[in-house]
Amino acid sequence: MKFLGKLFIALLVVIFALLLAVYILLQTRWGAAQVSRWVNEKSDYHFSFAQMDHRWASPTHITLTNVTFGRKGQPATLVAQNIDIGLSSRQFSQPMHVDKILLHNGTLNISPDAAPLPFQADRLQLSDMALNSPNTEWDLRAQRVNGGVMPWRPKQGKVLGEKANIQFSAGSMTLNGVPAANVLLQGEINNEQVTLATIGADMARGSLTGNARRLADGSWQIGSLRLNDIRLQTEKSITDFLAPLTTVPSLSISNLEVTDARLEGKDWAITDLDLSLRNLTLAKGSWQSDDGRLSMNASDVIIGALHLNDPIVNIDFNPQTATLRQFTSRWERGMVRASGEWQRREKKLALDELVFAGLEYTLPANWKALWMEPLPEWLNSVSIKKLSANRNLVIDIDPAFPFQLTALDGTANNIEVVRNHQWGIWSGNVTLNAAAATFNRVDLRRPSISLNATENQITIAEWSAFTGEGMLEATGAISQAAQRNTAINLRGRSVPVNVLQQWGWPAVPLEGKGNLQLSVTGSLAAQTPLKPTVNGTLQATSGDGKQVQQTMQHGEVPGA
């Protein structure tokens, strides 16, 4: 028995000596290299560390220096200058589950292709780390990251685990191309759902605070988000800039506040923007709301050729309509004001009032082509209950037929200007008058026109203007059918006998002033030249009693 006891003690001494030797060797560079080589040879991972350090003053802590871990042939998942591993009694039952892991001064890649880390911990703590998430929907680059994950149970493609509380701060961060600094995030991960109870950051020379939740299907719910003094510049167009709002399955906003923001991109800019948005969900290219509200004002809004000064917008949302309570803006040196509602089911914009005052507006060079183009699928109809125009200047610089209307006033009631995605005057009545006008270098005084539109035709009830010492008057009708058959009857009294020459009728062999009687028909059909469709007669009588009658066929007057 004494021999067996001595043998047992000897074995214990040998085992202790071996353990002590291993313990000492692991704390040398040679020992660290041997362990690293063994792991690399026996697994699909690349692992290395320079040295292990253990101090009896802190017996439950092991420190590894200059650590690299990752899948072979892939970028490293983890690179750290120091890793402090806190042990506990749990190591006897779960050797790979530790009490705490502290990563210091390194880089952690959290992409789906990153190798799963072999350890788990009650707490993962980061100190002065860098975080990267390439090849994910969140293209993240963060530096000087501090924080923690509790508990930490990493899995393939989910470095932070499936369920955990998270808290991070970062000195600088770039998320999907948007840079930020002094970032703070607090929340939790629950499988595919991420709740961010606290979001804070300095970005674009301003600040961002709020809270949000990402659901398992990729939808976002923003509880509160406030942006202050943002100064953001981007190379994206307005469509590309807003694309993330339409690419997510849905975006629900309970409260969004923007104060004194300045945004600028390719062919667009917004300065001094104040915006408040509540209770609105954007989904599948549309919106949903039971009691939403949008209030916005800015100093300038520029989108392409459109430039609005001091716009103010107030909209109330409910399930089927968006009520435009107020829209006012200075535009083209004048003012525009509107109110009404958007009817979602009918895809109709129904304006109660539209006012233009004091505009100095030059029509776009391609305005005729834009007038003929079908409007987008989402806009089927536009109606205006009451339209008013006061003291406006409208100019068309088309060299083929330029015109100008000075001090243009007008009213319209119950007009429909868009039907089935097409511009026109489909119903209602319109009255317009101006102090002066020029049509293809023919000067007119006090021109006026009254129109009545029905489903079948547009009736020109009255058109009149003074020219020289005489007066022109006309009536007519334009069919609403696709051929746009048109008939015009015009009379002139004491007017220049060749006043119609600049408008397309050949010169008559008379001089001076006289009386005119014109009757013409034609077709204003889209994509069809007007001149070959025009037929009519002109009777002209000069001041000395001479008369000429001409007949036009297919846009030509024989012998003229």
- Domain definitions of the chain by residue range: 1-42, 320-447, 456-559
pLDDT at 2: 54
For 478, how many CA atoms within 13 A lie in the half-sphere containing its CB? 15
Contact call for residues 517 and 553 (beta carbons, < 8 A)? no
Pick the range with the lowest mean pLDDT from 164-173, 282-291, 518-527: 282-291
Exposed/middle/buried for residue 83 (C-beta within 10 Å: 0-12, 13-18, 19+): buried
Exposed/middle/buried for residue 553 (C-beta within 10 Å: 0-12, 13-18, 19+): exposed
pLDDT at 248: 84
Q: How many CB atoms sit inside 10 A of residue 222's CB?
A: 19
Average pLDDT over residues 361-368: 92
* Position with higher pLDDT, 41 vs 355: 355
- Taking the C-alpha atoms of residue 231 and residue 204, their distance in angstroms, rounded to an integer, is 5
The residue to which tokens 């439950």 are assigned: 60
pLDDT at 54: 63
- Taking the C-alpha atoms of residue 474 and residue 447, their distance in angstroms, rounded to an integer, is 11
Question: Does the pLDDT value for residue 36 go beyond 70?
Answer: no
Question: Does the pLDDT value for residue 25 go beyond 60?
Answer: no
Tell me the two tokens of residue 141: 């680059």
Question: Does the pLDDT value for residue 17 go beyond 50?
Answer: no
Pick the range with the lowest mean pLDDT from 127-136, 220-229, 330-339: 127-136
Question: Burial letters for 371-381: b for 16+ Cβ neighbours within 10 Å, e otherwise?
Answer: eeeebeeeebb
Average pLDDT over residues 116-131: 83
Q: What percent of the chain is modeled with pLDDT above 90? A: 56
* Position with higher pLDDT, 560 vs 132: 132
Per-residue pLDDT band for 89 (boundaries 50, 70, 90) equals low
Cis amide prior to 151 (ω within 30 degrees): yes
- Taking the C-alpha atoms of residue 131 and residue 145, their distance in angstroms, rounded to an integer, is 7
∠ CA 465-466-468, nearest 5°, is 145
Question: Does the pLDDT value for residue 507 go beyond 80?
Answer: yes
The mean predicted confidence, pLDDT, of the chain is: 87
Q: Determine the 3-state secondary structure of 17 from DSSP.
A: helix
Q: What percent of the chain is modeled with pLDDT above 70? A: 88
Tell me the two tokens of residue 529: 């030249």
pLDDT at 35: 64
pLDDT at 84: 86
Q: How many CB atoms sit inside 10 A of residue 346's CB?
A: 12
Q: Determine the 3-state secondary structure of 60 from DSSP.
A: coil
- Condensed to tens digits (0 to 9), the pLDDT of residues 408-432 reads 999 999 999 999 999 999 999 999 9
Contacting residues for 158 by C-beta, under 8 A, at least 6 apart: none
Following CA atoms 309, 314, 318, 322 in sequence, which dihedral angle do they give, to the nearest 10 degrees? -40
Question: Does the pLDDT value for residue 457 go beyond 70?
Answer: yes
Question: Does the pLDDT value for residue 134 go beyond 50?
Answer: yes
- Condensed to tens digits (0 to 9), the pLDDT of residues 256-265 reads 999 999 999 9
The residue to which tokens 């006090």 are assigned: 446
pLDDT at 60: 66
Residue/partner pairs of 479-482 with CB below 8 Å, 24 or more apart:
480/424, 480/426, 480/453, 480/454, 480/455, 480/456, 482/525, 482/526
- Condensed to tens digits (0 to 9), the pLDDT of residues 369-412 reads 899 999 999 999 999 999 999 999 999 999 989 999 999 999 99
Average pLDDT over residues 449-474: 95
Pick the closest to residue 450 from 507, 410, 395, 491 (CA basis): 410
Question: Does the pLDDT value for residue 1 go beyond 60?
Answer: no
- Taking the C-alpha atoms of residue 315 and residue 301, their distance in angstroms, rounded to an integer, is 18
Question: Does the pLDDT value for residue 90 go beyond 60?
Answer: yes
Question: Does the pLDDT value for residue 111 go beyond 80?
Answer: no
Q: φ and ψ at 525, to 5 degrees?
A: -60, 145
- Condensed to tens digits (0 to 9), the pLDDT of residues 518-548 reads 999 999 988 888 899 999 999 999 988 889 9
Q: Determine the 3-state secondary structure of 137 from DSSP.
A: coil
Average pLDDT over residues 312-317: 96
- Taking the C-alpha atoms of residue 172 and residue 312, their distance in angstroms, rounded to an integer, is 35
* Position with higher pLDDT, 207 vs 18: 207
pLDDT at 9: 54
- Condensed to tens digits (0 to 9), the pLDDT of residues 181-202 reads 999 999 998 988 989 999 999 9
